[in-house]
Structure 1
Amino acid sequence: IVASGPFTTSDNLSFEPLMELLAYARNKRPNVLLLMGLFFDAEHPHVKQGITDRVGRLDLLFQELRKILEDYCQFLGAGARVILIPSTRDVFHDRIFPQPPFNSFMFEDSSQQISLLPNPSVFRLDEVSIGCCTTDILRHLSSEEAARNPPGTSSDRMSRLGAQLVGQRGFYPLFPPALGTCLNLAVNPSALDFPCTPDIIVLSSDLVPFVKVEPRTEKLTTLLLNPGRLAKGAMGGTFVE
C-alpha cells in the first residue's frame, strides 16, 4: 500500500486519514506500507496560525505518529514493514532537496520494522527496484512544459511528464528548479540521479492520480504512479494498493 501525505485534514492535526488507512491495512495485511510525506505540513492552517501546542516540540510532533505506527506494526506482527520518506514541507525536518531521512532517534524501533529513507530514494523489495520522490516534479514540469500534438494525434499528458524522468534517468529533470524547491546539490551532486532505472517510480503530486506504464527498452518497462493525496483539505483523498 502506498500513500502520500498530508495525513491530516486541514481542520485538525489528529491523523484521522492515517488512522483510517491503517485500519484498512490491518484487514489487507500488506507486506509493505509506504508512507510518503508530508506528515506535518508547514502550510497547515493550525501550524501557520500557531494554534497547536505541539508546534516547536520535535518530540511531541513525532510522538503521536510514532505511537500510531508502532501499534500498527505490533498488531500485524513481525511480517509488517513500514517505510517513511520525508517531504520538504515537513515542519520538523530539513527543508532542502535532496533531503536526508528522518532522524533514527525519533523511532525506538528495535524490531527494525520501520525504515527511514531519504527524499528521493531508490530501494529494492525482493527483485523489484522502486524509486520515490515527494517533491512535486510532475507539477513543476507541467508548469514549464510547452507541448503540441500533430494533427490527428494525441498524447497522454501524465505519461509524457513521467517519461522525462525515465528518459533523463533522474528524479528532477528541470533546471532552474521551480520557485521554493530549495535545491541544493553541494553535498551530493548525484543524489537526484537514478543508480539504475527503477521498475516502479512513485511520485507524490497534486496533479491527478494515475498509474502508467512507460517503455524503456523493447522488453523492459517502468511503472509510473502518483497515489494522489491521502487528505485533500477537510476531505479524504486517495492511495494506491
Structure 2
Amino acid sequence: MTSLGNYSDSGKYRNIAITNSKRVHVGPSFQFNAPVNIIKNVLSINNCENSESDANDVRLNENKYNDTVHIISRRSWLAQPPLEPHTLLEAPAKYVIICHTATEEGFCVSENTYVIRLIQDFHIEGRKWNDIGYNFLVGSDGKIYEGRGFNVVGAHTYRYNTDSFAIAFVGTFVNKLPPSKAIIEARKLIALGVNNGAIAENYSLVGHCQLSPTRSPGDMLYEEIKKWDNWDSSKQYFKNGR
C-alpha cells in the first residue's frame, strides 16, 4: 500500500503511509551533470606568513627594554569565554611563576592558536576549571597570548594562585630553551605588568617547580630564569614542603 494523502498548497504532503516498499523517495530530486563547488564560510586563522597582523602592540613606558609587547588577544586565538566571571587579585602579584605547557611548540599564530585552544579545553573539560589556568602564554613565534590576563586569579599553582602571575611557555623545555625572541617577550611582559601595577615592584620570580611537585618549566628553561631579575632562590619545593 502506498498512500501519500493530500498534497497541500505549501508543497508538503499531509499524510504518508508506505508498506512493503524499497528505495522510496519522497520530495524533489536534483541531478547535476557538471562539477559542483561547495562554498562554506569558516573562521579564519592566520597562517605563519600572516601572523603579524594579529598582535596588539602594547608600548612600555619608561622600561629598560624600550619596546612593545606583542599580545594576541583572547578573541584572536578564538578562546571560549570563562564559565564564570574571573576573580580579581586583591593586590599586585607578589610572585611571577614561570611554567611550560608540556605540549608541542607553536611557531606561528595558527599553530599556537591550535595548541592553546586544546589547553583551554583540557583545563575546562578535564580539570573542571573556570578557564585556561595561566595569565598569559608565550609562543615560540615570539608573541604573547592572553590567558586570564592581568589582575586575575589563575589556576596553576596550589596555595599561590591568589597572589601570583603565571606565564606559560608553549612547548616542552626540558632539553632545550625557547627561542630567544620568546624569552625576550616574556621579560617585557613582566616589565609591562610592573608598569601597570598588576605585578608588585619587589616581586619574586620563581619556576613552577619551586612551588609544586612538577618539572615545569623544564630543566633548561628553569636554568635560564635563574638569570632573570628578581629570581628567588629561597623557594624550593622539595626543601620546605611547599
TM-score, normalised via structure 1 length: 0.30
Q: Highest CA radius of gyration, 1 or 2?
A: 2
User: Which structure exhibits the higher relative contact order, with contacts defined as CA atoms closer than 8 Å and separated by 6 or more residues?
Assistant: 1
TM-score, normalised via structure 2 length: 0.30
